[in-house]
Amino acid sequence: MRKMFYAKLAWTGIRKNRKFYAPYLLTCVGMVMMYYIIAFLSVSDLLKGMPGGETMQGLLVMGCGVIGVFALIFLFYTNSFLIRRRKKEFGLYNILGMGKINLARILIWESLIISGISLAAGLFAGIVLSKLAELGMVNILAGNATFTMSIAPKAILQTLALFAVIFVLILLNTLRQIHLTNPIELLRSESAGEKPPKANWVLALAGAIILGGAYYLAVSIEDPISAMVWFFVAVVMVIVATYLLFIAGSVAVCRILQRKKNYYYRTNHFVSISSMVYRMKRNGAGLASICILSTMVLVMLSSTVCLYIGTEDSLRTRYPRNINLDTAVSDVSLLSEGRTATVKELSSEIAGQNGQELENILDYRVAGWVGYIRDGRIETESEVMYSFGTESNIWQIYLVPLEDYNRLMGQNETLEPGEALLYTTKLGSYPDDTITLEGGKSLTIKKRVSDFADNGVDAMQITPSMYLFVPDFAETVTPLLDITDSNGRKMISLHWFYAFDLACDDDTQIRIQEQLQNALNEANLAGEDGEVVSILCEGVAKERSGFYGLYGGLFFLGILLGIVFVFAAVLIMYYKQISEGYEDQSRFEIMQKVGMTRKEIKKSIHSQILTVFFLPLVTAGVHLAFAFPLIYKLLALFSLTNFKLLVIVTICCYLVFALFYVLVYRITSGAYYSIVSGAREDG
């Protein structure tokens, strides 16, 4: 009987405050649902069985962790907001004779109800939607799926355990807060007089400087490797700066405006600026969080969408042709007609047996090594190369015969011995006119060319590649072949690339690839002692699913996390609007008594809400714009260099996000108006 009394009190408490509890419950349900879906996908047998599924599940396990941590932080945040609103009620109970123990009982019941509802509803929604997510994922992996419903007990247990812990932690925190305050404070906690915020110039300035620094970093970094190193530094700087600027900077700006008397004492500015100061002080942190969440969503979405859309591009760069044969040899003489002719014959023969012809043939010789360029010299000492700070001068070097270049690119360039054509990839550039190879041979760069065949090695590496096309290939390469590192391993490898396209479906391609591989093994092309010939045979068709597993997984995860973050941003906004509504209620009542017209009040409210609301969106846009060069360079590491695609995808993401944001604005500002004007109707 007594037990039910507390449960009843808890239930009415929640119902009476449904304006606050409904969104909180919704968040909890949403978080549980999202977590279950991701956990479910990460253990789904259906996915595990698919090509590329394992890669994707690896990513999903990571996503699980991210969402778990995020749920903890975020639910804590929203709950603290709820507690603040309800302290008055608890104070009243306390004064009416309820001890802290009794309050604690109510709170325990409350959290039981909340966690019960959110776990039940969240798991239900999660189970219902998980199939949908699974189908979406299968679709991304380009496979077929059955439509049978399945439940993963392991994922359910995982979800239950995680959220039970979170809810218990939240409850403990609430109890601690109630325990620490006395009833008078509980009663009063909402209406405590507030000091006018002082502008903290130091912090504001620091924020501006840090942001400037981060932007400079983002824009000035040239090569992708530094971009990767500095990306995280820039992210941290931007986060810190955003918080500083929203909290201190905004107040400082308002203060400056207040000092300009002729600007400040205008009907439009007066009320807005002065309340803005308080608004920013109270909500600066919340707004900064919204801004950062928005930026994260945007960066994540635009890059993952871009990667996913660009998967075929990346595949093509990584595997320039449908079937790629990479023959590594130990001496230039081994690249002679005899052996290569055998490989070519075998290729067309096997293709012919499958009713196919070789198309788009790629055929060139190359000597490749990794070098460190210093003062116009390519060096290979590993001590220098692998020490910190040199990463931006590391290059993949390729020497290619000029005749191969001319043949492949349909050019007719001629060079004297000692001259070379230069081609660089991945935003790398080499400004000097001569370059000296190990061993002292110097090459004059006669011309820079803008294109050459794609190369899988270049696509896999984060370093840029430098192609040197020389007329006297054998003479230039031979002396280099003897260079070894301290372990006696050869530094330079000699290759012959032979690759071709096939106009057939993936299954046939895989069959051809396997037959070719077997045939090459049997042909035993290795020569006499000490001569090494090894042939690597790769096909796009076989690798495609792995690529989709990775990029599709990133894409899927990007969307899921994007939804969660947007969810969070919306909720922060909603609570912000509601709490401000209550704070502004009495203020606008007074203003009306003093002679402010309804129209003026509405206008003032509108301009303030608009500023507060769209400041994060605009800032996120600016952040995104400055992050763009960095993202571009990072994506270059994933062999995605389609600038136009990235621009379009980024802009689309921003627009879609902005649309969504405006929608949320309309809904939440409706709630705000109704609170503020409710007071006016009464007055």
The yes or no reply on residue 523 touching other proteins (CB under 8 A) is: no
From candidates 12, 139, 267, 336, binder to other proteins by CB under 8 A: 267
CB atoms within 10 A of CB 116: 11
Output the CA–CA distances (angstroms, integers) from residue 89 to 14, 85, 98, in the order listed.
Answer: 12, 8, 12
Size of the site for other proteins (CB under 8 A): 27
In angstroms, give the least distance from the CB of 667 to other proteins.
27
Residue in the block written with tokens 């065949």: 453
Tokens representing residue 69 in the block: 């941590």
- Give SS3 for 415: coil
In angstroms, give the least distance from the CB of 603 to other proteins.
12
Smaller CB separation from other proteins, 542 or 587 = 587
The yes or no reply on residue 683 touching other proteins (CB under 8 A) is: yes
Smaller CB separation from other proteins, 196 or 352 = 196
In 3D space, the residue among 524, 553, 627, 509 whose CA is nearest the CA of residue 215 turns out to be 627
From candidates 2, 3, 261, 644, binder to other proteins by CB under 8 A: 261
State the amino acid at position 172 in one-letter form. L
Cite the beta strand spans of 479-636 per DSSP E: 493-501, 533-539
Span 157-216, contacts to other proteins by CB under 8 A: 193-196
CA neighbours closer than 13 Å in the CB half-sphere of residue 650:
24
Compute the distance between CA of residue 80 and CA of residue 551 in angstroms, rounded to an integer: 38
Compute the distance between CA of residue 461 and CA of residue 637 in angstroms, rounded to an integer: 7
The yes or no reply on residue 262 touching other proteins (CB under 8 A) is: yes
From candidates 594, 666, 681, 682, binder to other proteins by CB under 8 A: 594
Given the rule CB under 8 A, which of 27-35, 105-113, 323-331, 596-604 is the region that contacts other proteins? 596-604
In angstroms, give the least distance from the CB of 90 to other proteins.
25
The yes or no reply on residue 591 touching other proteins (CB under 8 A) is: yes
Span 347-386, contacts to other proteins by CB under 8 A: none
Output the CA–CA distances (angstroms, integers) from residue 231 to 234, 464, 589, 628, in the order listed.
Answer: 5, 18, 49, 11
In 3D space, the residue among 464, 505, 27, 31 whose CA is nearest the CA of residue 223 turns out to be 464
The yes or no reply on residue 49 touching other proteins (CB under 8 A) is: no
Smaller CB separation from other proteins, 477 or 601 = 601
| DSSP element (H, E) containing 386 | none
From candidates 2, 599, 644, 666, binder to other proteins by CB under 8 A: 599
Residue in the block written with tokens 């995104």: 624
Compute the distance between CA of residue 427 and CA of residue 604 in angstroms, rounded to an integer: 50
DSSP string, 99-121: -HHHHHHHHHHHHHHHHHHHHHH
In 3D space, the residue among 655, 339, 277, 283 whose CA is nearest the CA of residue 498 turns out to be 339
In angstroms, give the least distance from the CB of 288 to other proteins.
21
Burial pattern 326-342, b for ≥16 Cβ within 10 A else e, equals bbebbbbebbeeebbee
From candidates 593, 644, 666, 682, binder to other proteins by CB under 8 A: 593
Compute the distance between CA of residue 517 and CA of residue 504 in angstroms, rounded to an integer: 18
Tokens representing residue 584 in the block: 């502004």
The yes or no reply on residue 598 touching other proteins (CB under 8 A) is: yes
The yes or no reply on residue 256 touching other proteins (CB under 8 A) is: no
In angstroms, give the least distance from the CB of 225 to other proteins.
51
Given the rule CB under 8 A, which of 82-90, 200-208, 569-577, 589-597 is the region that contacts other proteins? 589-597
Smaller CB separation from other proteins, 236 or 590 = 590
Give yes or no for a contact between 557 and 60, defined as CB atoms under 8 angstroms apart.
Answer: yes
From candidates 524, 595, 666, 682, binder to other proteins by CB under 8 A: 595
The yes or no reply on residue 597 touching other proteins (CB under 8 A) is: yes
The yes or no reply on residue 582 touching other proteins (CB under 8 A) is: no
Span 269-298, contacts to other proteins by CB under 8 A: 270, 274-275, 277-278
Given the rule CB under 8 A, which of 47-55, 262-270, 456-464, 524-532 is the region that contacts other proteins? 262-270
In angstroms, give the least distance from the CB of 618 to other proteins.
25
DSSP string, 73-85: HHHHHHHHHHHHH
In angstroms, give the least distance from the CB of 616 to other proteins.
22
The yes or no reply on residue 678 touching other proteins (CB under 8 A) is: no
For other proteins, the binding residues (CB under 8 A) are 193-196, 261-262, 265-267, 270, 274-275, 277-278, 587, 590-600, 683
